[in-house]
Structures are given as C-alpha cells and as structure tokens.
Amino acid sequence: MLILPEYGFPYIIDNVSGPVVPKYSWFYDVEHNDFMLKPIRLLEETIGPTVSVRINNFDFNVPSSWNLLVVDAETKLVDTVQITQCSSSNYQAFLMHPDTHDYYLSPVILLDLFMRESCIHTMIPRMSMMLAPVGPHPTTSYSKKTAKSDLSYCCLLSPQDLGKYMPGVTAMEVVL
C-alpha cells in the first residue's frame, strides 16, 4: 500500500521485510481531531478478502473489512463506512493533504473482490486513520496549475470503525 511519509509525497510499502526509508507517516488522530506525523514502528501484513477500489481515478487494494472516511454531500458530515458498503451507495470519499486546509470529494468505485490477497501497511495507531495517497489534486480543463496541484491527495482508511467517535463532525472541522 501507499503511505504519506513526512516529506509529503507517496511511498510504496510492498513487503514486510524490506527497508523502510521514511521514519514517520501521516495519520488522522480522531481523539485530537488533528493530522499528525507518527513514527513508523512496524509494518503489518493483512491477508484475506481484499477489494480493488478506484478513488480520484486511482486504483488500489484495501482489506475488505477496513473503513473509509466519507462525507455526506448535502450536510457535509463525515462518517466511516466499511469499504464493501460503497458498492451499494453513492458514497463520496473525503480527500485531503495535510499541507492544505481544504478537502475534495471523490466517488468510490469498487472494481473487484479478491478472496485472499495480501496488503502490506504500517501499523495504524489506536483511534487513528492512515492517509492513503490517491493521486494529485483534482483538476479540470479550466483549473490553473498551482503549488497544491503537485500534492498527492489522500483518502483516510482504518481497520477500526471510528465514525462513532465523530458524531456531528463536518468535513471542514476535520481539515481545520
């Protein structure tokens, strides 16, 4: 899986025994309602049902039991849903980068289900969500290239359902 290390650009982790150059990775800490750099203490391998997902026109694999931070398009309230639930509803993934104070919504498309795959990722601290890079800041043909155009926006993933600890929280409250 991809992580967002301290220098702000994606880094791929594809095996548990290989060297890990970054020392820190970005996480969203639900208890503090803040984005924090936390040390990479260990790598984990999750083996089991895995879903191939497309967010922001970027395809990647996620364990099917994991949760994704989504935003209600009308109320702008955030919640976490199990990634497999995204096949039956029009959920919008919450995308952001810790160097900006804005967010973007992207549709979640489930592409395939694999019954036994491996996902390598950093250990995710309790009450935290990892920032998983899903490509550059979304642009249109009318957009001007800016400094944030080069940043890799991230969705927020966690093996824990943290939505119950975020009642009434809006997307803007997450990024501020």
Q: Give ∠ CA 4-44-48 in degrees, rounded to 5.
A: 110
The alpha carbon dihedral of 37, 83, 97, 102 has a sign of: negative
How would residue 73 be classed by pLDDT, with cut points 50, 70 and 90?
confident
State yes or no: pLDDT of 16 exceeds 80.
yes
Is the Cβ–Cβ distance between 147 and 90 less than 8 Å? no
Query: Per-residue DSSP letters for 116-141?
Result: EEEEEEEPPPTTEEEEEEEEEPP--T
Encoded amino acid at 19, one letter: P
CA–CA distance, 57 with 24 (Å, rounded to integer):
27
Mean pLDDT (the chain, rounded): 91
Summarize the confidence of residues 47-72 as an average pLDDT: 96
pLDDT at residue 65, as a whole number: 97
Taking the model in full, what pTM does it have? Answer: 0.92
How would residue 143 be classed by pLDDT, with cut points 50, 70 and 90?
very low
Name the token pair of 70.
Answer: 């989504």
The alpha carbon dihedral of 114, 83, 138, 28 has a sign of: negative
Q: Domains of the chain by range and CATH?
A: 2-138+149-175 (2.170.16)
Structure confidence by residue, pLDDT tens digits, 87-127: 888 899 999 999 888 899 999 999 999 999 999 999 999 99
CA–CA distance, 102 with 106 (Å, rounded to integer):
14
